């Protein structure tokens, strides 16, 4: 262990965080489109924008079981379930949940039952104020946000995965208030306008106002906002020390693909285990969120978690940098329920207070 790390870990709070995540162990993750189907069509959904649904999910359970078995043998211990809409495939989610650390993303229209999924981390999407969300996700027909609020009221498994558009910082306070009043914490994501609507949705506008408003929410709702000012800054600016976010530094690329070989050899760290599987449970794509997608448009929160995680060394120059690294790591383990949620949030809050 490097000397400075040993020194930082003399701080009892940091020591507790660090030893907790070490106890859980390292993550060998994959991302899986559990189905090619969805019950709505959102504007700017990366999945349908790139026609990823051309890879169809097999009906036979044997194909799915064989896939899981293979992944188990390969050493996978964490599966991020995406799609399509995962809640349309409850039996398959259950098989994953019973065998791997799991996180699932859903639009919230169809409730994932409590029975059998008691500690499943469920990220429910929301894309803005009721009006914005209605326009972007409900096609002006379905009130997805209202249904999801009802389905997950006071549900301890659920957190909102709130994707904010660059020009919509003014909506944040209202949306967060509703989510928190519903009994669920909030994790932020940053809207990238893959559908090319432009204007307030265009990522090229920058996320500075959004960043400031998210920081305000962190201060306003202790223990309810699943991000830190540091994490918020890294994602919204795309900057981590001297590195600029993009394909050359991206960590969540499928490592079995020849097309990613050059990237893997460029000296920047990546997740050696990672693969992003299409719904045929066989074919992998370039990365979690795209095949040909322009990386300049990528502000996805999950990828940025792992970008920070693989750069422990860069965070060892000062205790502040290390604390930023550790709290981000720890937050990931808390959000994904690999450590106890309530205890984890309390500890994060405590560390935040000490730093203030
Ligand atoms: S609910 Fe999810 S998978 Fe379905 S269209 Fe919207 S973003 Fe895409
Ligand atoms: S789109 Fe995002 S996740 Fe995919 S390779 Fe580019 S930077 Fe990485």
- Other beta carbons within 10 angstroms of residue 316's beta carbon come to 16
* Ligand 2 lined by 293 (C-beta under 6 Å): yes
pLDDT band at 356 (very low <50, low <70, confident <90, very high): very low
Per the rule left: phi > 0, alpha: psi between -120 and 50, beta: everything else, 75 is left
Q: Which ligand has its closest atom nearest to the C-alpha of 44?
A: 1
Residue of 259, 287, 305 to test ligand 2 pocket, by largest number of atoms within 8 Å of CB: 287
Is beta strand 158-164 parallel, antiparallel or unpaired with respect to 186-190? parallel
With a Cβ cut-off of 6 Å, ligand 1 is lined by 38, 40-42, 45, 47-48, 83-85, 107, 137
Contact 182, 148 (CB under 8 A): no
Q: Residue 5: its pLDDT value, please?
A: 92
- For residue 298, the ligand 2 atom closest to its alpha carbon is 2
Number of neighbours of residue 306 by Cβ within 10 angstroms: 21
Residue 192: its pLDDT value, please? Answer: 87
CB of 347 within 8 A of CB of 315? Answer: no
Distance (Å) from CA 122 to ligand 1 centroid: 15
Dump pLDDT digits (tens) for 104-130. 999 999 999 999 999 999 999 999 999
Q: Whose CA is nearest to atom 7 of ligand 1?
A: 45
Our CA angle for 25, 233, 305, nearest 5°, is 20
- Cα(338) to ligand 2 centroid in Å equals 25
The pLDDT confidence band at residue 353, using thresholds 50, 70 and 90, is: low
Q: Which CATH number fits domain 31-318: 3.20.20, 2.30.30, 1.10.3470, 3.40.50?
A: 3.20.20
Between the CA of 279 and the centroid of ligand 1 the distance, in Å, is 14
pLDDT one-digit tens code per residue, 178-232: 999 999 999 999 998 888 889 999 999 999 999 999 999 999 999 999 999 999 9
Could you tell me if 90 and 20 are in contact, meaning their C-beta atoms sit under 8 angstroms apart? Answer: no
Domain edges within the chain: 1-27+319-356, 31-318
Q: Would you say 33 and 277 are in contact if contact means Cβ atoms under 8 Å apart?
A: yes
pLDDT value for 325: 97
pTM for the full model?
0.95
> pLDDT class for 309, splitting at 50, 70, 90?
very high
Q: What is the mean pLDDT of residues 9-22?
A: 95
User: 238 CB less than 6 Å from ligand 2?
Assistant: no
């Amino acid at each position: 262990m490097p000397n400075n790390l040993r020194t930082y870990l003399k701080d009892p709070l940091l020591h507790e965080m660090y030893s907790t995540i070490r106890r859980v162990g390292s993550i060998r993750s994959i991302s899986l489109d559990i189905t090619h189907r969805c019950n709505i069509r959102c504007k700017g959904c990366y999945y349908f924008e790139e026609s990823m649904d051309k890879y169809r999910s097999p009906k036979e359970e044997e194909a799915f079981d064989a896939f899981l078995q293979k992944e188990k043998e390969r050493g996978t211990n964490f599966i991020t379930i995406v799609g399509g809409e995962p809640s349309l495939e409850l039996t398959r989610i259950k098989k994953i949940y019973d065998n791997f650390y799991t996180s699932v993303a859903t639009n919230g229209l169809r409730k994932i039952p409590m029975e059998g999924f008691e500690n499943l981390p469920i990220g429910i999407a929301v894309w803005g104020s009721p009006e914005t969300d209605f326009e972007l996700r409900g096609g002006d027909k379905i009130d997805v946000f209202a249904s999801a609020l009802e389905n997950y009221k006071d549900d301890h498994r659920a957190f909102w995965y709130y994707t904010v558009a660059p020009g919509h910082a003014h909506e944040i306070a209202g949306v967060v208030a509703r989510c928190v009043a519903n009994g669920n914490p909030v994790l932020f994501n940053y809207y990238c306008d893959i559908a090319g609507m432009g204007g307030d949705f265009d990522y090229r506008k920058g996320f500075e106002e959004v960043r400031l408003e998210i920081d305000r929410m962190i201060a306003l709702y202790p223990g309810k906002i699943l991000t830190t000012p540091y994490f918020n800054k890294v994602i919204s600016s795309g900057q981590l020390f001297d590195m600029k976010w993009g394909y050359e530094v991206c960590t969540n690329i499928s490592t079995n693909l020849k097309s990613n070989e050059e990237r893997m050899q460029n000296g920047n760290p990546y997740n050696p285990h990672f693969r992003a599987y299409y719904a045929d449970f066989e074919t992998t794509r370039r990365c979690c969120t795209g095949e040909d997608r322009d990386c300049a448009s990528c502000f996805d929160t999950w990828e940025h978690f792992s970008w920070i995680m693989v750069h422990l060394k860069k965070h060892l120059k000062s205790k502040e940098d290390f604390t930023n690294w550790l709290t981000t790591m720890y937050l990931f383990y808390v959000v994904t329920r690999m450590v106890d949620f309530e205890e984890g949030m309390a500890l994060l809050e405590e560390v935040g207070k000490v730093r203030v």
